[in-house]
Structure 1
C-alpha cells in the first residue's frame, strides 16, 4: 500500500498559496484493507475513506470509463493493480495531476510542474472531454489564478469548444451550473470565469440572456467593480453578482433567474438593485422622490436593504460618491423619526402616518441641503 498527497494541495503548495484541505490517493490497497486499519468509508460510487484521526479523505486509485452522456455516466475500476499514473491521467488538468510521496518526492508524469511554471492550464488527456463539468472547472481555475497570470492552453480551449458543439453541456442541471458560478464568485476573478465561458461558446448555452449582453467592455467593467469590492471588503457573492444583474432590466432579470436557477437571496438583492437604480444613480432626486423610494424600500423596517444597496452601487461606481453620503445621512435622519414622538404630542390614529411622512420629508430635505 502506497499513499500519496494529490491534487489541489500539491498544486497550491507549489504556487505558495495556502492549502485549505488535503486529499490522498492510495495505491495497491483494497476497501477491506482500509476498513481494517480504521478508515471509514464514505464514497458510494467508488471507495473514499476518512482517516481515523485527521478525517482527511483517502481514495483508492481508480480508472474511469465513460458510459453515456453527462458528468455522472462513469464506470470506475478501483482494483489494487491500478497504478498511480493511471489514476493521475483521469484528472482534469496537468497542474492537478501531480502527486507527492511521504518523503516529499513529486511524481509528475504529465509535466504539471512545467505548466505551473509557465502559468498554463492544460488538460491531461482526451478523457477531459468525457466530463462537461470540467468546462466550468477550467473557467473557475482561470479566474482563481488570474492574478498569477494563468491562461488556458489553446488546445484546451479548442477541446472545450468541441465539447460545447457536441451538446455535452445540455446534460448539466442548472443547479449544478450555479454551484460552479457561486464558487467562482467566492474565490476568483468572476469576469475571467465568464470570459472563458464566452470564448468556448459555453455562455450562450448555459446563460443565453447574459451571453447576449456580454462584451470585452462588459468584462473590463465587471472586473473593476469586483476588484473594488474586494479591496474595500464588500465582496459578498450577492453584492458581486449584482454587478452582473445591473446589466439587465426587470424582465430580463427574470430570464437570468430561469437560466441559472438563482437562490432567493441573490434574486432579492438583484431585483432591488434594478428597481432602485434611480435612487442611487440620479443625484437630482428631490426630497419627496427620495422619501417615496425609502417607503418603497421599506427602509423603516428593513434598514439592511439600504446598507446592501449602498454597497452594491459603491462597487458599481467605483467610489463612495457624495450622493451616496447624502443618501446615508438622509436615511439616518429620516429613520430616527418614530411614532412615539407624535403620540406624546397627542397625535393619534390615522393622523400619525402623514405627520411622520412630513417630518421625514423635512429631515430628508435638510440632508439634501
Structure 2
C-alpha cells in the first residue's frame, strides 16, 4: 500500500500558491483494509475515505469508463491492482495529474510539471471529452491562473468546442454549473471564465442571457468599446478589482442583461434596459438555483445603476426612493454594494477604467447623512404603523434636500 498527495495541492505547491485542501490517493489497498486502518467510507460512487484524525479525503486508485451522458455517466473500477499511472490518466489536465509520495518525490507520467513551467492548460488524454464538467473546470482554471499568464492548449480548446457541440453540456446539473461558476466568480479574474466559455461555444448553452450581449451595440459616446458583451466582461473585471463580494460581482455580470432583448430598430439606445433585464436575471437564477441573496442584489442593481450614474441631476425624491428600493434602512450594506456595482459599470469601458467615480461616494455620503432619524418623539406622541414610516420618510427627505443644496460633496 502506497499513499500519494495528488491534484490541486501538488499543482499549487509547485506554483507557490496557497492551498488548504489536500487530496490523497491510495494505491495497493481495498475497502476492507482502509476500514481496518480506521478510515471512514464516505464515497457513494467510488471508494473515498476520511482519515480518522485529519479528516482529509483518501481515495482508492481507480479507472473509469464512459457509460452514459453527463459527468455522472461513468463506470468506475477500483482494486489494489490499479496503478498510479492508470489513476492519473483519468484526470482532466496534466497540471492536475501529478503525484508526490511521502518522501517528497514527484511522479509526473504526463509531463504536468513541464506544462506548469510552460504555463499551459493541457488535457491528459482524449478521454477528457467524456466529462462535460471539464469544460467548466478548464474555464475556471484559465481564470484562476490568468494572473500567471496560463493559456489553454489549442488541442484542448478544440476538444472543448467538440464537447460544446455534442450536446453533453445539457446533461450538467444546475448545482454543478453554479458551483463552478461561483468558484470562478470568487477568483482574481472571473471574466476570463466567461470569455473562455465564449471561445469554446459553451456560453450560449450555459449562459445564453450573457452570450446574447455580444454583438449588441451601445452609443460610442458612453461605450467606446461599443459591444455590450465586451463591456460586461470589462465591468466584471473592474468589480473583481474593487471587491471580493460575490453578490457584487454577480450583479455586475448581470447589470445589462436587458440590452440583450432591445429591438434592433432601437439600437444603439437601450431605454429601460434595467427593468427589461429583471425577468432574465430571475430566469437565470431559477435555472441554476442561485441563492436568493445573490439574485436579489442583481435585480436591484439592474433597476437603479443608471440612476446612480445620473445622481447629481436627480431630484431628492428620486434619490430617497432608491434607498427605499434597495431596503437600505434594514440592509445598510447594500448602499456600498450598489455604489460598487455602479462604479464597475462606469469604469468597465474602453479608456475609462481609471476614471474617478464620484457618484458612488456621493450616494454613500447622502445615506450617512439621512440614515439616523430620531423617532422617539414620534413614538411618544402615540403615532403607530405606517404613519411612523411616513413621518420618518418626510424627515429624511428634508435632510436630503438640505444636503443637496449645501453641495458639500459636489
Name the TM-score, length of structure 1 as normaliser: 0.91
Q: Which residue of 2 aligns with 1:303?
A: 332
Decide which of 372, 382, 386 is 1:336's aligned counterpart: 372
Q: Are the equivalent residues in 2 in contact too, given 1:6–1:25 (CA < 8 A)?
A: yes
Q: Deviation of residue 286 (structure 1)?
A: 1.5
**Residue 263 (1) aligns with residue 291 (2):** yes
Residues 335/116 of structure 1: CA separation in 2 closer, same or farther (3 Å cut): same
Unaligned runs of 5+ residues in structure 2 are 216-224, 258-276, 348-354, 406-410
Q: Which residue of 2 aligns with 1:111?
A: 111
Residues 331/354 of structure 1: CA separation in 2 closer, same or farther (3 Å cut): same
Q: Deviation of residue 107 (structure 1)?
A: 0.9
Q: Deviation of residue 48 (structure 1)?
A: 1.2
Residues 32/348 of structure 1: CA separation in 2 closer, same or farther (3 Å cut): closer
Residues 79/347 of structure 1: CA separation in 2 closer, same or farther (3 Å cut): closer
In structure 2, distance between residues paired with 1:194 and 1:353: 44
Residues 28/230 of structure 1: CA separation in 2 closer, same or farther (3 Å cut): same
Per-residue CA distance 1:291-316 (angstroms, 9 max, x = gap): 23333333333333323322322333
Q: Which residue of 2 aligns with 1:286?
A: 315
Per-residue CA distance 1:159-181 (angstroms, 9 max, x = gap): 11111111111111222211111
Decide which of 216, 240, 243 is 2:249's aligned counterpart: 240
Q: Which residue of 2 aligns with 1:172?
A: 172
Q: Which residue of 2 aligns with 1:194?
A: 194
**Residue 153 (1) aligns with residue 148 (2):** no
In structure 1, distance between residues paired with 2:326 and 2:42: 47
- For the aligned residue pairs, the C-alpha RMSD in angstroms reads 2.3
Q: Deviation of residue 91 (structure 1)?
A: 0.4
Residues 341/198 of structure 1: CA separation in 2 closer, same or farther (3 Å cut): same
Q: Deviation of residue 188 (structure 1)?
A: 4.1
Q: Are the equivalent residues in 2 in contact too, given 1:140–1:188 (CA < 8 A)?
A: no
Residues 99/289 of structure 1: CA separation in 2 closer, same or farther (3 Å cut): same
In structure 2, distance between residues paired with 1:243 and 1:228: 9
Q: Secondary structure at the match of 1:187?
A: coil
Q: Secondary structure at the match of 2:25?
A: strand
Q: Are the equivalent residues in 1 in contact too, given 2:188–2:240 (CA < 8 A)?
A: no
Q: Are the equivalent residues in 1 in contact too, given 2:137–2:180 (CA < 8 A)?
A: yes
Give matches, 1:17-36, under 5 Å. 17-36=17-36
Name the TM-score, length of structure 2 as normaliser: 0.83
Q: Are the equivalent residues in 1 in contact too, given 2:236–2:253 (CA < 8 A)?
A: no
In structure 1, distance between residues paired with 2:67 and 2:379: 73
In structure 1, distance between residues paired with 2:290 and 2:50: 33
Q: Deviation of residue 223 (structure 1)?
A: 5.5
